[in-house]
Chains A and B, each alone.
Chain A
C-alpha cells in the first residue's frame, strides 16, 4: 500500500504544541489511541526511544513500535509548532514526525518495515521536507506525499 493511501486527514496533526519528546509522542499517538490504552502505547514508544532515538536528522523523527495491542498498522504524520529536542542523530531539534505502529504478528513485519523504509527515503528529500514544513492543510500533506513517493 502506498504511504499516501495509509494516511487520512484524521491522522495528520499540524502545528501541535510540544515542549519535549514525550509531548510530541503524545500528540502523534492521540489520533490512533481510539480503542487502545493511551498510556500503554505511549510507554511502549518511549521505552523504545530510550534504546535509540528515532530522530533521523534534518528535523525529522520517525518513532515506531510493534505492539501486541495493535491490530492494524497505523501511520500518523505530525508537525510541531516549534522544533522539539528529540535526541536526533544530528543533534538538531525535530518538527516533522511520522509515527508508525504495527502489529507483532510475523506476517505483518514486512509491511511494517516497508512503511518505515518508504518514509525514510521520502524524507531524505529537502524539497519534500520544505513543502511539508509549510503546508496549511492535511489534504496538501497527502498530495505532497503522493506526488513524491515511488
Chain B
C-alpha cells in the first residue's frame, strides 16, 4: 500500500460496542498514512423517533442524552488518536446518518471513510444499520473501509 494513500480519514463514531474496533482501525491507518483523523458522530433522527415511541422521555430529553453520549464517544476517540500522535478533530451533526456521513466526507475532502458493520445487532435494527452502511458505500465519493 502507498504510504500516503489517505491524507484525511473520516471515522464514524456510533457510541456502540463496535467503536473500539473501528477507532483502532482508523487510527492505525491514520498513523500508517500520516493522515489527519476527523471523528464524526451523527445524532440520528430515526433513533430519536424510535426511542420516543418506546420510552416516556420527551424528544428534548432524548436529544440531550444522545448528544452527550455522542460527544463522550467523540472525545474518547480524540483521546485515543492524540495519544498515538494522530492529528484529530471531532465533529457532531444531526440528521439521517448515511446522508450526513456522505455529505461531510465530501465537504471535508476525506479520502477514506471508516465505519463499523453491525454484526451483533438483530432484527430490524440490524437491517437498518446494514442499509446505512450500504448507502454510504454506494454514495460516497471516496474509499470506504468497513470494520467487522
| Chain A: interface size category | 10 to 19
B64 within 8 A of A: yes
Chain B binding surface SS class: helix
Q: Which of B64, B75, B81 contacts A116 (CB 8 A)?
A: B75
- The residue in A56, A89, A120, A124 that gathers the most chain B C-beta atoms within 10 A of its C-beta is A120
Number of interface residues of B (CB under 8 A): 24
Inter-chain contact B64/A51, CB cutoff 8 Å: no
What are 22 contact pairs spanning A and B, CB under 8 A?
A: A48-B82, A51-B81, A51-B86, A51-B88, A52-B36, A52-B88, A52-B90, A66-B79, A89-B89, A114-B72, A116-B72, A116-B75, A117-B69, A117-B70, A117-B75, A118-B68, A120-B71, A120-B75, A120-B92, A121-B67, A121-B68, A150-B61
Residues of B within 8 A of A (CB): 36, 61, 64-65, 67-72, 75-76, 78-79, 81-82, 85-92
* Chain A residues at the B interface, C-beta cutoff of 8 Å: 48, 51-53, 56, 64, 66, 89, 113-114, 116-118, 120-121, 124, 150
